[in-house]
Structure 1
Amino acid sequence: MIPTQPARSINPIVRPDGSCYTAYATENVWTGVEAYSGVTWGNSVTPYTTGKDYFAQLIVALKGATKSIYIAGWQVNWDAQLAKGVRLFDVLLEVAKKGTVQIYVMPWDDTPPVQTYDDQTKAVLEAINGITGNQCVHVNLAASLADSNAKFYSHHQKQVVIDNQIAFIGGMDLAYGRYDDATYDLHANADGRAVLNRYNGCVAWVGSVTKSEVADPDLLVGMYDTPVNRTATLAAIQKGAMQIPDGATYTTLNPATQPRMPWQDVHLQITGPAVADLVRNFIWRWNSEGGSPSIPLPATPAKQTVNTGCGIQVLRSAPLKMRQAEYKALPFSARPETPIKGAQANIADAMAILIDKAQHFIYIENQFFVSGFGLAGNRESGDLTGPADVVHSNNKYGIEATRVYAMWDIDEPPQNKICEQLATKINAFIMNHKGEPFHVYITLPVHPEGKLNDGSIMTQIHWTMQSLVFGTKSLLNRIRRSFRARDLVDQNGPDSDWKRAYADDNTEYESIDIKRCFEYVTLLNLRNHAQLGDRYVTEQIYVHSKMLIVDDLFAIVGSANINDRSLLGSRDSELAVLVMDSKVDSVNLCGDNKLRPTRGHARQLRMAVWNKLFGITAGGERAATELKDAVESPGAKASWEAIQARAAKNTALYEAAFDFIPRNKTPYNPLNLTNPGAASIWPRWYSTDPAKKTWGNLGLMPFDKAFWTNPQFNAAAAAQLAVTAAQLNEVKGFITLLPIEWTKGENNNLGYPTALVVENKTNANPLQQPTAIAQEDVSFTPTTEGKT
């Protein structure tokens, strides 16, 4: 036996007939390090896996409010679509007319060059008071209270609480783009979507709206707030006008030729004792940020006497400065007895506990994956290559200004340990040859939301690929090291020098075929396609979820991404819940007809998400029905094999039809057609002479406006349209493989401070880059004509 961390297993107690007794013992999965809250039982939790389902229930709950509504978000848009023909403004206006409900809204106070329309939301929602004659809507813009470089970080919590009884929490802001369903429809004008709700931040917008369709909330504040402007603006808003886009040309997506970007996210509805912890979070934040009027804390809930229903621990990432501000805003009698010692990193702590407890599988769905990866590989220390060189050359002064502004931690590597923790768990199974199967599934966006000619996006892709693939201690290379250590033991015995495979400077792992890693890990992206008139279009389905599920027993859902901003605790504020259902079942989890325990909420949530991603929820010809068994038995070898096979087939079909999408191999290389090499970050580029850094450009990319002038799928003549249609009809479900060779051999690290790199809201022109890094969860990209 190799002396490594053991892979623990559960041996069920079996009845005489062979079935398992149900286990009711409580497992210690709760975090106690600087914990924001303890665990409460007796909660009811309802998951929502589409924006449409969440918003439909939210509308009902908002309209049923009798006393109070608390809304917090990174981005809250007054005209965010909640149903066909229904905006957030419409719902809150109806509630405000009651005159009995106090409505508190707390978006993030955005930092240039980011544009979340927070000031416009404040102006419009507060105007409801004048419309109704009731002083009941209060909007407070929450600034970042990060422990350093506060201008670069954000208030990132997402929650709604109604009457202190019903709470909604997860990854979905009340913002543009989130209104979506299980079909991931690409038609930008479907379901009544208009203006900014026709959202795609990854392409250059070439459509426009007329002045009559929009309103300018800036006319409601300051010197522009004249009686004439206010009357006309509010009349237009009440008649259905939407937020005016940046730019005098009213530029938006063109639904005739451009796809919207579909949204994948998860949200929860909670009732029960845990709501009190979420109420407390909002009130603490509101009062500490100077919200007016201040909100009194409700009475402390009575002590619990039940442990049925769902156990919930509310988790936070909270900088020390934020916690200190909350403490100072509390009345003396309400201040916690435990002294504040530092930042809260509850979400990272809870994720580490669950990863350590995993026995059969882990499912991660997240917007980002940037984690400690050892030393950077992939020519990171060399000159910039190809497109990155072009973009940097045209914005080197802006990037340097960002580095000066950041002041410190400019080039620090990612510090969070999610990558290491996952690899350590997998290592235990590889080294111990355990009979129990084990697998990690990770679903991510193919790249952060934004254009591929955006320097911040390019840098983010660089760090993601280092974390997953290229770094010396990347997730895949850590697994390769474990395989190398196992091989050394098998070849030379347990007394051999097998530990050397883990040494920082050891490169023996490079001899291990990277494909062996996929016995333990599946890396997925999501994509959809549609026909718009004379063309086919495709777009990634944007994974925005922040979710971790272990063994269908435990689940964490919230606002925290896998990166240092979210997990270290000292940067972005975050909010999540760890849920453990008391309802226990025994199921064939690993496909070997051995019954293993699962818990209701985690299993229900994971199955709902997988059914959606596999097209089974949407149904029809798109359903990947061969994956139904995988939904039931995620721990089975046959399950991950089937999922990878379907994702690989879908990937091949998409790459055959669309040569510009991120991929493993470049579609062009006239110098070496038999071995084209890894695809560039702009797949239509190819290297003519890497030594001299000369490049050939074979076509436009979606960030170019001219790209949208003509059809871009692989159909040179109209007769081939039917061929392309037949190929794309073979796509089943929405899963594709993450391209692990994409950008191999390139250095796309443009030099932005690594601790700050996130999605960026920039101009469409690659020659016009901002002078500061933007924040997370970008939901609008100004056009070249617009302002930032």
Structure 2
Amino acid sequence: MDSIFRKVERGIDAIFGDERHSHTKIGHECHEHHPTHHASNRYQSFAPQSTGNAKWYVDGCSYFWAVSEALENARESIYILDWWLSPEIYLRRPPAANERYRLDNMLKAAAERGVKVSIIVYREVEAALTLNSAHTRKHLEGLHPNISVFRHPDHVPTGYDIQKELGQSFSNMTLNTATLSKVSGDALKAIYGTATDGVVLFWAHHEKLCLIDRKVAFMGGLDLCFGRWDTNSHPIADSHPGNLDAIVFPGQDYNNARVYDFADVGNWNQNKLDRTKSSRMGWSDVSLSLNGPVVESLTEHFTDRWNFIFDEKYTHKNPGKYERIEFKPRHTHLGFHRRSGEHERGGFLKQDPSQLLGGLSDRFSKGVNKFMHDDSSSDEEKSSKRSHRENEPAKIQLTRSCTKWSAGHATEHSIANAYIDAITNARHFVYIENQFFITATCDEQRPVSNKIGRAMVDRILRAHEAGENFKIIVIMPAVPAFAGDLKADDALGTRAIMEFQYKSISQGGYSILETLQKEGVEDVGRYIRFYNLRSYDRINVSSTMKEAEKQSGVSYEDARKERDDALGSGYAPYGEQQSQGQGQYERYQQAAAQLDDSTWDSVSACYMDVGPDLRSVPWKGDPEAEISAFVTEQLYVHTKLLIADDRLGQYERYQQAAAQLDDSTWDSVSACYMNVGPDLRSVPWKGDPEAEISAFVTEQLYVHTKLLIADDRLVICGSANLNDRSQLGSHDSEIAVVIEDPVTVDSYMDGAPYAASRFAASLRRHIFRKHLGLLPHQRCDSPDPHGNWSPLGSHDSEIAVVIEDPVTVDSYMDGAPYAASRFAASLRRHIFRKHLGLLPHQRCDSPDPHGNWSPVDRGLNAYDWNSPADALVRDPMTRNFWNLWDGTARTNTDVFSKVFHCVPNDHVRTWKDYDDFFSRHFANPGTGKPGDAKVEYGHVVPDEFPGGVAEVKEWLSRVRGNLVEMPLKFLIDVPDIAIEGLQLNSFTQELYT
């Protein structure tokens, strides 16, 4: 059998095909050499292995709460890296009760305390993206002199005459895939600009990082921007006709990218998406907080990026306005370095080639994590080690993707190296949750270059040849988060990404599944499975809305918009409010308060653990309206009052009217699919049944996570997607950490006792329980008492981090006892529980009692080890688990297909099938024109349910969690789904891979 070293060497060698560097193939040298310590570091990362404490957050609710705690306690510095930063984002919800926790208010308050705030955001091509980084910089720098914002890169025009080629000026141009497919290479260069070395700046800064006082770090998949905040039950309805102050997603934060993309985000309250007709799109994500020595690696990365941009842009521009940031390592004795060979501009002096490979074989041999493989100790020794390791910090290593244009360095792709290493050396399973899945098994799949898919194939073939029980689970979005009907010309980019993904997975001749079948693996589903996530909810458009409008004399929309305008205009810090009168909002609220409306504003709790039964959730109004209220979608406040003629403002008049109404209708029913949630069939509705049918909606739950968990012992988490853009190093800039927690928990793997890592096992179990509906409904307004809403420690002690928690937990793997990493196992289990609906419904306003809304310095993740729900996801390799996992996915898939005609769908194999199954029933997403007898996108087709709303609820009450099967046969009989009358050119192909 090959040595582990040779297996890793062969896997790393395959990552990039012809684009090899010394850090992807042993024995090959970069044309620009890394320093000696660079070559000797595991994964050939710039950062050595380090230590620290790690805390996970599944979804934005708890993560943003923890960030708000850390920002509130910042005393010296705040450093932020983001792809997109929205100054008006609320870190705590609902906004009306959390004025002080809007991001711009928090940064201003910190600056006024003397804290230096330094922010780097991606400078977009304005014709292609709607991030408005110019607004971010202008707004934040206008708050206080202590706030500095860099935008990078500058897309310097080449002088090419775009107007002559395209017939329109660049300033009036809107770039979409149809436009890009037609332009020449010269025009693209003119649009995106070039770096000093001639590289066209197609690529983005994609890191997400927030550093507080150089002591606590936040990182992962979540930007501090609109559309990312969400609870683990993912409510996609948010109308609240009985109380506008209960709105959770104000302005453009109520977003569904499948219907309308963000637009004019500088005027964030201008939202084209009608929340009384369209659902939002839920956002599933994972982020971390870290403390200890590893924070120095992250600080070094930030200061390196900051000083590179300063030297490139500000040595002559705006002299004196900005300054370089000095990096002072505290833990040099732990392996951190001062880069004595560093150029002033952040590059490295060339090293003697003979020094490049020093220790490299040892690095890879040791890089095959001894912790993951050393099971030779006796049970007594393991028990003793665990007791001594209870407070031992995790092994954490920072990895990144960067190159000359993004950081002034030779290309580094240590994230890809870490992915390959983790897959190659996994013993039992690999869990991947990612926004994209574009990879190759061979060079014939050009233009895709990364070979992470090849590593998956090779690992599965080893398992198949050895008769091992080995699994890879991949969760990803059903559809990329771009607006419009999939058949439309403007959806060329959406279809192109989908085609690249299907050719990576199951189509085209060289995909992972086809390659395995060619190699003799008949039952590929035994080894690798793909899944999506989906939500449903019920929009509260019960009769309470009409009654409040009638009594107040104000329309709901006018009152809500007035309230959004007030929420968006900013607040006097820390509650210093100035009342200027009342408007439509108050009049509506007063009227609504007088109404008896039992209709829930969301029913998302119904598919969470111990959630209500959807069939019992009340509705006020006719059944037809309730059917129309159901929707589905994929899972991607200082009031200023206006007095006019001594009358109340629209907001005040509405609120006063609503306050007089008795409305029992729930504003969301998402709790119904969570653990111990209410029965949807008993959830009240005020109004006619027809209106309730129309109120049900669905959408995919958008997967934005960038996560890999191996064997409940190792976690890779960061900003990097699984595609060329994130993995090659020469494209987007990224960070990720690799975490291995030494503290173990008793677990099982494949039916046998197993010491799982506390961190990995708790995260994986939590996620699984969420997906399965085995978590309780989550409140948004109140941290749980267990502390998982707080950040990690503030004491001294695209990027990704490698986290290896040496603390293990007793677990099971493949039926046998297994020592899982505490960090990795808890994260994986939490995610599994989330996807399976085995987490309780999560409120947006109340941190959970276990403390998982706090920073890491307030305590590590709390997790309910060995609870009934936890036991269901403890061992991901047994027949019982797979019966639960696949059974949940199959049932949910069937229900969503029946009730909502969701696409993609395995029944849709051709464009004619697409028209018959979807187009003839629904208006095109975002058109706002239902047409003859067509219903709104994402709603129920009432004519298909002769039993009315009761029949709809009967079907939907079967949904648990958000897990659904990925439809691998979607449009399988269409030769080329991307090209439907249009052609991608070679330049735009790179953009989508």
Do both proteins adopt the same fold according to a TM-score greater than 0.5, normalized to the shorter chain?
yes
Q: 1-side partners of 2:910 and 2:959: how far apart?
A: 22
Classify 1:4/1:299 alpha carbon distance in 2 versus 1 (closer, same or farther; 3 Å): closer
Amino acid at match of 1:740: L
Aligned to 1:253, the other structure's residue is in SS state: coil
Q: Structure 2: how far apart are the matches of 1:537 and 1:588?
A: 39
- From the superposition, tell whether residues 150 and 77 of structure 1 become closer, same or farther in structure 2 (CA, over 3 Å): farther
Contact 2:744–2:820 (CA under 8 A) maintained in structure 1: yes
Find the counterpart in structure 1 of residue 432 from structure 2. Answer: 364
Shift of 1:647: 0.2
Matched, 1:302 2:332: yes
CA distance in 2, matches of 1:643, 1:188: 30
Tell me which residue corresponds to 2:129. 114
User: How far off its partner does 1:4 sit?
Assistant: 13
Distance 2:734 2:714 in 1: 19
Match of 2:54 in 1: 45
Tell me whether 1:427 sits opposite 2:461 in the alignment.
yes
Task: Please state if 1:482 is matched with 2:523.
Answer: no
Secondary structure of the residue aligned to 1:260 is: coil
Select the residue among 493, 496, 499 that pairs with 1:462: 499
Task: Give per-residue Cα distances to partners, 1:704-735, cap 9 Å, x unaligned.
Answer: 32249735413216852221121011111110
Deviation at 1:83, TM superposition (A): 1.3
- Mean alpha-carbon deviation: is it higher for 604-613 or for 50-59? 604-613
The CA RMSD over aligned residues, in Å, is 3.3
1:657 & 1:754 partners in 2: Cα distance?
Answer: 41
Distance 1:369 1:80 in 2: 29
Alignment pair present for 1:442 and 2:479: no
For 1:262, the aligned partner's letter is G
2:919 and 2:121 mapped to 1: Cα distance?
45
Contact 2:447 2:989 (8 Å CA) reproduced: no
* Matched-pair contact (CA < 8 Å) for 2:258–2:481: yes
Deviation at 1:418, TM superposition (A): 1.2
Secondary structure at the residue paired with 1:139?
A: strand
Instruction: Tell me, yes or no, if structure 1 residue 752 matches structure 2 residue 984.
Output: yes
Contact 2:205 2:406 in 1 (8 A): no
Structure 2 counterpart of 1:14: none
Question: Whole-Å Cα distance in 1 between the matches of residues 466 and 228 of structure 2?
Answer: 44
The one-letter code of the counterpart of 1:422 is M
Q: 8 Å contact 1:44–1:310 — kept in the other structure?
A: yes
Which deviations, in whole Å up to 9, do the C-alpha atoms of 1:107-140 show, x marking residues without a partner? 10011311112111111111111xxxxx200011
Q: Which residue of 2 aligns with 1:178?
A: 228
The Cα offsets for residues 560-613 of structure 1, whole Å up to 9 and x where unpaired, read as: 111001001110000110111121344212224521121111111111111211
Contact persistence 2:443–2:449 (CA under 8 A): no
Deviation by residue 1:325-360 (Cα, 9 ceiling, x = unmatched): 3xxxxxxxxxxxxxx6x3000000001111111011
Q: Deviations over 1:168-188 (max 9, x none)?
A: 010000011111011100014
Alignment of 1:629-778 (within 5 A): 629-666=871-908, 678=909, 680=911, 684-685=914-915, 699-707=922-930, 710=935, 712-716=939-943, 719-746=947-974, 747-750=976-979, 751-753=983-985
Report the CA distance shift for 1:475/1:640 in structure 2 as closer, same or farther (over 3 A): farther
Equivalent in the alignment of 2:703: 543
Q: Are 2:525 and 1:518 equivalent residues in the alignment?
A: yes
The residue type paired with residue 752 of structure 1 is: L
1:104–1:733: structure 2 CA closer, same or farther, 3 Å change rule? same
Deviation string, structure 1 residues 533-567 (Cα, Å, up to 9, x no partner): 42211000110011111001111000111100100
Deviation by residue 1:154-195 (Cα, 9 ceiling, x = unmatched): 011110001000000100000111110111000144643111
Encode CA deviations 1:227-256: one digit per residue, 9 max, x unaligned. xxxxxxxxxxxxxxxx347xxxx4422111
What residue is the counterpart of 1:498 in the other structure?
none
**1:285-332 Cα deviation digits (max 9, x unpaired):** 111112622212224523139994111111010013434x3xxxxxxx
**Counterparts of 1:470 and 1:570 in 2: how far apart (Å)?**
27
In structure 2, relative to structure 1, the CA distance for the partners of 1:316 and 1:696 (3 Å cut) is closer
Range with bigger deviation, 69-78 or 530-539: 530-539
Shift, 1:419, TM fit: 1.0
CA distance in structure 2 between the partners assigned to 1:520 and 1:52 by the alignment: 34
Q: For residues 144-293 of structure 1, what are the structure 2 equivalents within 5 Å? A: 149-189=199-239, 191-204=247-260, 243-244=267-268, 250-290=270-310, 292-293=322-323
**Match status 1:66 vs 2:75:** yes
Task: Choose which of 315, 321, 325 in structure 1 pairs with 2:399.
Answer: 315
Aligned-pair distance for 1:432?
2.1
Q: Is residue 363–residue 550 contact of structure 1 (8 Å, CA) maintained in 2?
A: yes
Check whether the contact 1:430–1:482 (CA below 8 A) recurs between aligned residues: no
CA drift of 1:274 comes to 0.5
Task: Note if contact 1:414-1:754 (Cα within 8 Å) is conserved in structure 2.
Answer: no
1:606 aligns with 2:828: yes
In structure 2, the residue matched to 1:236 is: none
Deviation at 1:468, TM superposition (A): 0.7
Partner residue, 2:659: none
CA distance in 1, matches of 2:78, 2:985: 38
Distance 2:294 2:716 in 1: 14
Q: Partners in 1 of 2:713 and 2:914 — Cα distance?
A: 44
One of 566, 569, 579 as aligned partner of 2:739: 579
What CA deviation, in whole Å up to 9, does each residue of 1:392-415 have, x standing for no partner? xxxxxxxxxxxxxxxxxxx94211
The one-letter amino acid paired with 2:978 is: N
Q: What amino acid is the match of 1:552?
A: D
Structure 2 unaligned residues grouped into runs of 5+ = 9-39, 96-100, 155-193, 240-245, 315-321, 336-388, 542-624, 635-700, 754-815, 843-866
- Name the stretch that deviates more: 146-155 or 578-587: 146-155
The correspondence for 2:420, drawn from 309, 328, 352, is: 352
Match of 1:531 in 2: 538
| Residues 216, 413 of structure 1: alpha-carbon distance in 2 compared, 3 angstrom cutoff | closer
* C-alpha contact (below 8 Å) 1:7/1:425 kept by paired residues: no
- Larger relative contact order (C-alpha < 8 A, sep ≥ 6)? 1
Aligned to 2:159: none
More divergent stretch after superposition (467-476 vs 743-752): 743-752
Residue 303 and residue 753 in structure 1: after superposition, are their counterparts in 2 closer, same or farther (change >3 A)?
Answer: farther
- CA contact 1:684–1:700 (8 Å) conserved in 2: no
The answer on whether the counterparts of 1:74 and 1:158 sit within 8 Å (CA) in structure 2 is yes
Match of 1:173, SS state, is coil
Distance 2:951 2:5 in 1: 53
TM-score (structure 1 length as normaliser): 0.70
Give the whole-Å Cα distance in 1 for the aligned partners of 2:41 and 2:453.
Answer: 20
TM normalised by structure 2 equals: 0.56
Decide whether the 8 Å contact of 2:922 with 2:935 is kept in 1: no
Query: 1:196 offset after TM fit, Å?
Result: 1.1
Alpha-carbon distance change, 73 to 696 in structure 1, aligned in 2, over 3 angstroms? closer
Counterpart-to-counterpart distance in 2, 1:31 and 1:187: 48
Identity over aligned residues, as a percent?
24
Q: Is the 8 A contact 2:935 2:941 kept in 1?
A: no
Q: Matches of 2:257 and 2:929 in 1, distance apart?
A: 17
**Which of the pair is proportionally richer in strand?**
2
Q: Which runs of 5+ in 1 are unaligned?
A: 9-29, 130-134, 209-214, 218-242, 326-339, 377-410, 485-511, 667-677, 688-694, 759-772, 777-788
Q: Which moved more, 1:546-555 or 1:313-322?
A: 313-322
Give me the whole-angstrom Cα distance separating, in 1, the residues matched to 2:214 and 2:261.
42
* C-alpha spacing 1:252/1:87, structure 2 compared with 1 (3 Å): farther
Which deviates further from its counterpart, 348-357 or 466-475?
Answer: 466-475
Q: Distance in 2 between matches of 1:276 and 1:296?
A: 12
The CA deviation string for residues 729-758 of structure 1, in whole angstroms up to 9 with x for no partner, is 111111000000012122123333567558
* Matched AA of 2:961: G
Q: Does the CA-based 8 Å contact 2:121-2:150 persist in structure 1?
A: yes
Provide the secondary structure at the position in 1 that maps to 2:91: strand
Structure 1 pair 605–186 and aligned structure 2 pair: CA distance change class (3 A): same
